[in-house]
Structure 1
């Protein structure tokens, strides 16, 4: 694999991170003080507490054993009576950067949406569900195979943790921690 292909693969992995961020705060935070969280309300807006700026860092893992630090920042705009989310996200690593825009919808406990990345001109879709602690999401590029990943997103207060498992020849996974600014 040449350097350009690796750069694109890493950038697409950052795109997956950005997509995860799109959903990270999309539900009310779990109960505090160790109380068990309530099951999600399928009709409540999971985007209510997401509006504003989020930022954080993480680490991506490659199949060759190497790792790389990633930094991301995002601005979320809640619309449509709280059931629609629009965002602008930027992520950077030593190897490159991405600039992503996405639109996400919530309907009766299901999450779906579209995303586009401006630097590498990549597009795709996402779908998933609200869980008691956050979200479980699948991401796919529009071409059906360039980018495919599963994400688990945990939300607590003003923090989010994202674990991404890639289906890729070059990428293994990514862990990202974010805080609301």
Structure 2
């Protein structure tokens, strides 16, 4: 996948994502095994990124994500990601459950009308998710370090190519 952005925007985004990924430490330490793997995500996040389309040039996006943890179970998470460009938008809503480091749930992109079941894993860096449905195939990686988060979604056989974003909590 090859996206082109102008000068400082590409450099700034690349450095932010690279710096975040290079500085990653495991989400769970030996003394925090009972903590929900979703705990670091809970709250509201904002940032910028790039959204790629098959039929046109990639566009810069401004994004916000909200993560809500089910207080009763601590292993169920609702994720909402909304991004806007000058010509459109993307909105992803996921309901995710974790058990033994494995993820299951449902994923839906509401603007372009894609949805499917998700599976995945909790990783030392965050989360790796695979989405499969009748009209969608996508891979999503979420990397979290403190108040920084990087999200990368690659779409397969879709009008969308991918979404890359770096966000800050708060």
TM-score, normalised on structure 1? Answer: 0.66
Structure with the larger RCO, 1 or 2 (CA within 8 Å, 6+ apart): 1
Task: Give secondary structure in 1 for the equivalent of 2:41.
Answer: coil
Tell me if structure 2 keeps the 8 A contact 1:43–1:109.
no
Give, in angstroms, the shift of residue 177 of structure 1: 0.5
The structure 2 residue matched to 1:69, chosen from 51, 56, 60, is 60
TM-score, normalised on structure 2? Answer: 0.69
Number of the residue aligned with 1:14 = none
In the aligned structure 1, how far is the partner of 2:159 from the partner of 2:69?
34
Number of the residue aligned with 1:93 = 85
The structure 2 residue matched to 1:175, chosen from 161, 164, 167, is 164
Number of the residue aligned with 1:147 = 136
In the aligned structure 2, how far is the partner of 1:66 from the partner of 1:53?
29
Tell me if structure 2 keeps the 8 A contact 1:140–1:147.
yes
Give, in angstroms, the shift of residue 117 of structure 1: 4.3
Give, in angstroms, the shift of residue 154 of structure 1: 1.8
Give RMSD over aligned pairs: 3.0
Structure 2, gaps ≥5 residues long: 1-23
Deviating 4+ runs (over 4 angstroms): 41-44, 117-122
The 5-angstrom pairing of residues 15-164 of structure 1 reads 30=25, 44-63=35-54, 66-79=57-70, 80-119=72-111, 121-141=113-133, 144=134, 146-164=135-153
Tell me if structure 2 keeps the 8 A contact 1:42–1:108.
no
In the aligned structure 2, how far is the partner of 1:152 from the partner of 1:66?
23
In the aligned structure 1, how far is the partner of 2:107 from the partner of 2:42?
18
